[in-house]
């Protein structure tokens, strides 16, 4: 009995108690929920193209129309995410560091792409940038056409991706404060040196996260793009629209094949961004 009692404290010493007990049950529920909501639908998406075989999958993959739509979807999403990474950083900096009249209104406007239905956003953008729109008409005088071109796709994707960057950066900027900047200034650092060595290294992981989220959101965007894009095959047709076209033709296997291609490409790009974020955070 004495030896048994002596072993009990040592066993308790190795335990890692949690504030919320029931790890086994909660972990099992997490796996079940992720499997039912995420893994099973994705598995069904991957299995469906097997109906057409590898030859049919390769034929869809090498189709010029499919390749152009994928190029526009991923290329436009990447360009829009990079634009948002720059201007989203500026917007977040202004909202956190400065006080000005109407700040709360500006802060609320940032969230409009979240709340506004994407179809409504697409109609508004197409009316604004159409050849006879408020912004489209002045731009047409200089030979710049936005609506019904790939530039319109980028504008729509930039519109829906901005909040992801701003809302990801704001909490980090609030936590960062001004103490580190003031300390750098007292040590003789210039404003550029303070930004390069103090501010930007602290914001880089959050900036990469927001950019990745904006990119992932833009890749699969449909509602806000179809109105301003014009949907011309080989010019302004995006991959999600091509999937809808295949579904309307009752060609479910081809639609699933395009979806698998988008899934694989998105996974690789997001994995690369996450690895870059991890590497950047490890160097801090």
CA separation, residue 183 to residues 191, 197, 200, 202, 220 (Å): 12, 12, 15, 15, 44
Model confidence pLDDT, tens digit, residues 226-252: 889 888 888 889 999 999 998 898 888
Asked whether residue 21 is assigned to any structural domain, the reply reads no
Q: Give a yes or no: residue 202 inside a domain.
A: yes
Judge whether 4 lies within some domain. Answer: no
- Provide the pLDDT confidence category of residue 1 given band limits of 50, 70 and 90: very low
For residue 230, is it within any domain? Answer: yes
Does a structural domain hold residue 185? yes
Residue 261 is predicted with a pLDDT of 87
For the entire predicted model, the pTM comes to: 0.82
Number of independent structural domains in the chain: 1
Contact 165/211 with Cβ under 8 angstroms?
yes
243 neighbors 255 (Cβ within 8 angstroms): yes
- Distance, in Å, from the CA atom of 198 to the CA atom of 179, rounded to the nearest integer, reads 11
Helix axes 200-219, 150-176, angle to 10 degrees: 140
Least confident of 57-61, 198-202, 276-280: 276-280
CATH of the domain at 248: 1.10.3720.10
Split at pLDDT 50, 70, 90, the class of 48 is confident
Q: Could you tell me the residue range of the domain that residue 268 belongs to?
A: 53-282
Residue 24 in any domain: the answer is no
pLDDT (tens digit per residue) in 131-186: 888 998 999 988 899 999 999 999 999 999 999 999 999 998 888 877 777 777 77
Least confident window among 79-88, 101-110, 259-268: 259-268
């Amino acid at each position: 009995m004495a030896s048994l009692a002596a072993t009990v404290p040592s066993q308790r010493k190795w335990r890692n108690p949690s504030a919320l007990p029931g790890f086994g049950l909660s972990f099992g529920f997490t796996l079940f929920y992720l499997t039912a909501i995420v893994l099973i639908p994705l598995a069904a998406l991957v299995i469906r193209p097997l109906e057409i075989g590898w030859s049919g999958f390769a034929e869809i993959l090498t189709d010029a129309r499919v390749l152009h739509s994928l190029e526009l979807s991923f290329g436009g999403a990447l360009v829009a995410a990079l634009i948002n990474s720059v201007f989203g950083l500026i917007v977040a900096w202004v909202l956190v560091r400065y006080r000005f009249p109407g700040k709360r209104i500006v802060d609320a406007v940032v969230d409009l792409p979240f709340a506004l239905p994407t179809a409504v956003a697409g109609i508004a953008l197409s009316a604004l940038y159409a050849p006879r729109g408020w912004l489209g008409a002045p731009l047409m005088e200089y030979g710049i056409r936005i609506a019904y071109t790939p530039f319109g796709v980028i504008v729509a994707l930039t519109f829906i991706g901005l909040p992801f960057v701003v809302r990801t950066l704001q909490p980090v900027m609030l936590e960062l404060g001004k103490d580190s900047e003031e300390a750098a200034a007292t040590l003789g650092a210039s404003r550029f040196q303070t930004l390069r060595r103090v501010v930007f290294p602290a914001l880089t992981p959050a900036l990469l996260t927001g950019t990745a989220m904006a990119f992932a959101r833009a890749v699969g965007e449909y509602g806000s793009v179809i109105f301003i894009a014009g949907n011309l095959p080989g010019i302004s047709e995006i991959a999600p629209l091509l999937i809808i076209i295949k579904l309307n033709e009752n060609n479910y296997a081809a639609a699933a094949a395009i979806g698998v291609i988008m899934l694989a490409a998105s996974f690789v790009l997001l994995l690369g961004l996450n690895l870059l974020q991890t590497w950047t955070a490890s160097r801090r």
